């Protein structure tokens, strides 16, 4: 079954203003999804152990489905030299989708807080740089601001403390180049609101074939400028 068409946020002009190309609704349903590797029972068991130990940090009892992972990966541009950092990779569902879509491993950096998940990801993706660290420390972890062109986040922002979320959002904005993308999924199915003054929501889509169903949203980095536009 093909994934549902992308539903756009209420400000499509924002995508043009920030030079963000959004997928065509007429064709986005039919983009082929590559066959993922067979899910690992050990990986699923590891994810469950992490959830039981840190439910707020993990946010879900089950890893992202292949359709959710592919929807996330599909929102990342594949221009030459495009640099991507993935936050909260878990057991690697979205990491695998990014690589299968054609992102070179050398252009992907993964930041994961759990030491066990870091070890798992390094074994599974030996060509990808996997950093053991906190997403709130992105500037230090990546070596400075404007380090990447897209941030792909599976962090459960709605279950984390507001102060922690604010620090992560600030860090993501700082490491993103101007006009760069933040791709974030949430189990809140309503259309995304304003993530912060630093980001503008430009597109979102529902993925029903996930446990639980999720919404993927695309935000554009506006930096710390004074203009605030709701979404």
**pLDDT at residue 18 in the model:** 44
d(CA 98, CA 40): 18
d(CA 148, CA 145): 8
d(CA 116, CA 47): 10
Tokens matching residue 161: 């403390």
Side-chain-side CA neighbours of 180 within 13 Å: the count stands at: 21
Of 95, 93, 91, nearest to 47 (Cα)?
91
Domains of the chain in start order, with CATH, are 7-20+40-221 (3.40.50.150)
Query: What pLDDT digit, counting tens, does each position of 35-51 carry?
Result: 544 455 655 665 555 55
**pLDDT at residue 54 in the model:** 65
29 pLDDT higher than 80 = no
- Mean pLDDT score, 101-125: 94
């Amino acid at each position: 079954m093909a994934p549902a068409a992308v539903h756009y946020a209420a400000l499509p002009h924002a995508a043009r203003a920030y030079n963000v190309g959004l997928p065509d609704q007429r064709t986005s349903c039919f983009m082929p999804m590559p066959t993922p590797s067979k899910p690992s029972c050990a990986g699923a068991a590891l994810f469950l152990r992490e959830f039981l130990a840190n439910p707020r940090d993990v946010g879900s009892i089950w890893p992202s489905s292949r359709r959710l992972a592919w929807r996330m990966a599909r929102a990342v541009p594949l221009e030459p030299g495009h640099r991507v950092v993935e936050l909260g990779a878990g057991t690697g569902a979205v990491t695998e989708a990014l690589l299968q879509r054609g992102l070179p491993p050398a252009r992907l950096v993964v930041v994961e807080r759990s030491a066990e998940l870091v070890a798992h990801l390094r074994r599974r993706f030996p060509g990808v740089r996997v950093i053991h660290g906190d997403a709130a420390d992105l500037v230090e972890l990546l070596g400075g601001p404007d380090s990447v062109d897209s941030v792909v986040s599976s962090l459960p922002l709605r279950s984390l403390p507001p102060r922690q979320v604010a620090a992560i959002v600030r860090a993501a904005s700082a490491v993103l180049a101007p006009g760069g993308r933040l791709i974030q999924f949430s189990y809140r199915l309503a259309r995304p609101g304003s993530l912060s003054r630093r980001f503008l929501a430009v597109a979102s889509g529902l993925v029903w074939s996930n446990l639980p169903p999720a919404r993927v949203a695309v935000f554009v980095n506006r930096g710390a400028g004074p203009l605030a536009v709701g979404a």
